[in-house]
Amino acid sequence: MLTVLPEPSRTVVGTAAFTGLRAGEIRGLTWDAYSPAEKVDENSLGVVRVLRSVWRGRVGEPKNSRSKATVPLIPQLETLLEQHRKACGNPASGPIFANGVGKPLDLDCLYRRQMKEALEKARIEWEGWHGFRRGLATNLERIGVREAIAAIILRHTNDRVTRKHYIKPPSIEAIAAMRRLSETLVTLEGSKLLPNCSPEAPQVPLETTNVRWVQ
């Protein structure tokens, strides 16, 4: 999908696939809730804080108390977000994904307007926005991440640890799991699926690849 979609669809899909956020949570993301890696810790990852959800045009709380959390970002996704931010004029606040009047972008409308035809032409089956949560869980399992850690990343309510009335930074285990996912992407045969984000590597345009990650 990342090789056939234009912007902003490509960055929206990357965000869904590599954070596992629900559609309403993606719509609710704001720039002031996003912290690049260098603003967090040079040895850590960038993060987004899931503070709100937008459903049918209404801004509200995330699905449950566990959903209101901090999610680590793999470097490849952070690069896409920084490129998207630059294309938007480097805003410091407001929705990360906004429509023409600055309101949260309607993701179903985005699919119909910008994604549907491109995906059908590339013969890529669309399984809806929620399919990316299942895809992330599957990919984490494939690289050996324990279910308990995947549950933390996906913010599932059936985990014993709860987060009520405050937001904790992602655990060491969650950060390590997302680093492993990032490293796996780099070592794939089609490693140019996403930008090479190693410090010494020059940034190059994306190229097509036959690698397909589970949605």
> Model pTM?
0.73
Instruction: Give the pLDDT of residue 41.
Output: 63
Supply the pLDDT for residue 149.
Answer: 80
Residue 154 lies in a domain: yes
Nearest-angstrom CA–CA distance, 201 and 84: 20
CATH number of the CATH domain containing 75: 1.10.443.10
Answer whether residue 57 is part of any domain: yes
Asked if residue 198 belongs to a domain, the reply is no
The predicted pLDDT at position 134 comes to: 83
Is position 18 within any domain? yes
- Taking residue 88's Cβ as centre, other Cβ atoms within 10 Å add up to 16
Is residue 201 in a domain? Answer: no
Which residue range(s) make up the domain with 22?
A: 9-193
Residue 185 lies inside a defined structural domain of this protein: yes
Looking at the structure of the chain, the number of domains it has is: 1
41 in a structural domain: yes
Q: What is the pLDDT, as a whole number, of residue 160?
A: 43
Taking Cα atoms as reference points, which of 47, 39, 41 lies closest to residue 19? 47
Query: Which pLDDT value is given to residue 68?
Result: 79
User: What pLDDT shows up at residue 147?
Assistant: 77
Q: Which residues 6+ apart lie within 8 Å of 68 measured at CB?
A: 50, 51, 61, 62, 163, 167
pLDDT at 210: 36
Per-residue pLDDT of the chain (215 residues; tens, 9 = 90+): 999 999 999 999 999 999 999 999 999 999 999 999 876 665 678 999 998 888 877 777 777 666 778 899 999 999 999 999 999 999 999 999 999 999 999 999 999 999 999 999 999 999 999 889 888 888 888 888 877 788 888 877 664 432 332 234 556 677 888 888 888 888 775 545 565 554 444 443 433 333 344 44
Supply the pLDDT for residue 165: 26
CA dist 198 → 8, 35, 74, 76, 120 (Å): 24, 19, 11, 9, 33
| CB within 8 Å of 194: residues ≥ 6 apart | 2, 14, 76, 77, 79, 80, 185, 206
Q: What does the pLDDT read at residue 212?
A: 40
